Structure 1
Amino acid sequence: MTEFWGFFYLVWTVLCYFFAKHLFIRTQKIYLSPIIVVPVLSIGLIFIFQHQFQDYYRYTQYLVAMLGPITVAFAIPVFRFRSMIRQHFKVLMLSSMMAMLVGILSSWLLASIFNLDDIVKNSLLARSISIPFALVLTEKLGGSISLIPLFTVITGLVGMLLGDLLLLWMRFKNRIAYGTAFGNAAHAMGIARARQRHELEGVIASLSMIISGIVMVLFAPTVIALTKCILSILYF
């Protein structure tokens, strides 16, 4: 019976995605995006049938495994704009590094204030990059592989939903800056939103997300260790 429900939820998720995509194309409402509609419908169905998450995850985990190749596919539009990217590469690199520092420090500070345990705290530190990068980083930090997709999706949703409002409030009009903000703050969901706004914003968001992921995986463990050391000295 468990095998049946695993396959059922796989089919359900795929059908829900195509339904939500068609609905979003027709309405162009951000709150009807597949990334919001599909989880809401799936969670509702799980509650109705009173199933466990393992029943849902049994076969849908293969959809998560596709995130790696999908992330690589973002490099295609990046290649088309390579001359422009070379022109602004230093700015993009600096902004990605600043985003990494802000994400790590804010997550660690808030987790410490609310006295969260180390597993949750370490999982939160990797929430600001796309899931394929975040899974690798979480293993290095000793976080939870089960929690990081949840934290990453929540981060992406908040960035996607509130990004337009924040950028409008700032009144600063620059498509490169917009794309960088979406890519660093909301990763894959930010890319989707940036591409809706303008092709150039989508390209910059793609590059920013990839740079942020690489920088986080390579340097975040060292930065986090230094942060812990400094905070422990200050606290003492």
Structure 2
Amino acid sequence: MTEFWGVFYLAWTVLCYVMAKRLFVRTQKIYLSPIIVVPILSIVLILIFQHQFQDYYHYTQYLVAMLGPITVAFAIPVFRYRRMIQQHFKVLLFSSSLAMLVGIFSSWFLASLLDFDDIVKNSLLARSISIPFALVLTEKVGGSISLIPLFTVITGLVGMLLGDVLLLWMRCKNRIASGTALGNAAHAMGIARARQRHELEGVIASLSMIISGIIMVLFAPSVIVLTRYILGAIAF
């Protein structure tokens, strides 16, 4: 792909995001969220021009690199609610740890049940944390640098689209519980949805995502080894 196409795709992605964000702010329809609209439009354009995704990614990877600083920026609203967070920190830590264990066990069990290969299995393990954390975890668990972002985005989309439905079905009215659920289950996309619901939910979702990401990076490799041993023993 020439540099012209690289600049074109970079400008296209930014322009699509700006337009999609304005449309979403005006309509407040979740299915018109930029995280849904921009990838669909970009995929359609790539298919029309018969280009390769690797080429597209090569020239737009700078946008992906911005995810790290953006994730750190979530700490700003967290600081404003620091006293309230201190009161519930143990609960948030426990819920994030439990979410990590459920995510790892369920992903590994279903991947083994469907007979996926090890690379796909390992890539699925990081699906419930934000992409910056997931990319770091990739090196430790032997996943695919291409699959982990895909699985992470799919998880976030499903969590964002179905989060309200599940919380309504569970009759959950506690802001802290709702924010924790969205942050752990749908990471950055869950935070976006939680902030739409209530500012406090957005703050709790931000903190839960950060905590779960740190826990996954630090302890996931050991938990994965334990998971393989337990499931192997059950299968035996």
Measured on the aligned residues, the alpha-carbon RMSD in Å equals 0.7
Letter in 1 for 2:166: L
User: What is the identity, as a one-letter code, of the residue corresponding to 2:79?
Assistant: F
Q: Distance in 2 between matches of 1:189 and 1:117?
A: 28
Matching of residues 93-132 of structure 1 within 5 Å: 93-132=93-132
* Alpha-carbon offset, residue 172 of structure 1: 2.0
Cα distance in 2 between the residues matched to 1:233 and 1:24: 49
The alpha carbon displacement at 1:5 in A equals: 1.0
Q: Distance in 2 between matches of 1:126 and 1:208?
A: 15
Residue identity matched to 2:70: I
Amino acid at match of 2:170: M
2: CA distance between counterparts of 1:120 and 1:164? 29
Instruction: Report the TM-score, using the length of structure 2 for normalisation.
Output: 0.99
* 1:170 paired to 2:174: no
* SS of structure 2 residue aligned to 1:158: helix
Match of 1:17 in 2: 17
- Cα deviation digits, residues 83-138 of structure 1 (max 9, x gap): 00000001000000010011000100110011000001000001110000001111
Maintained 8 Å contact 1:126/1:148: yes
Q: Which letter maps to 1:189?
A: M
How do 1:27-106 residues align onto structure 2 when only pairs under 5 Å count?
27-106=27-106
**CA shift digits 1:155-177 (9 cap, x unpaired):** 00000000000000011210000
Code of the aligned partner of 1:132: P
2:222 is aligned with 1:222: yes
SS in 2 for 1:88: helix
Match of 1:202 in 2: 202
For the 8 Å contact 1:167–1:178, the answer to whether it is kept is: yes
Q: Percentage identity across aligned positions?
A: 84
Between the two proteins, the alignment pairs up a number of residues equal to 236
Tell me, yes or no, if the aligned pair for 1:2 and 1:55 is still in contact at 8 Å: no
TM normalised by structure 1 equals: 0.99
Q: Which runs of 5+ in 1 are unaligned?
A: none
**Residue 3 of structure 2: aligned partner:** 3
How big is the shift at 1:6? 1.3
Indicate the residue corresponding to 1:158 in structure 2.
Answer: 158
Deviations along 1:38-96, one digit per CA (max 9) or x if unpaired, are 00100010111111112211210010000000000000000000000000001000000
| Secondary structure at 1:116 match in 2 | coil
Please report how far the alpha carbon of residue 234 of structure 1 lies from its aligned counterpart in structure 2 after TM superposition. 2.3
Give the distance between the partners of 1:134 and 1:67, measured in 2 at CA. 11
CA contact (8 A) 1:120 1:144 kept: yes
The one-letter amino acid of 2:15's match is L
- Give the conservation status (yes or no) of the 8 Å contact 1:133–1:217: yes
Contact 2:141 2:221 in 1 (8 A): yes
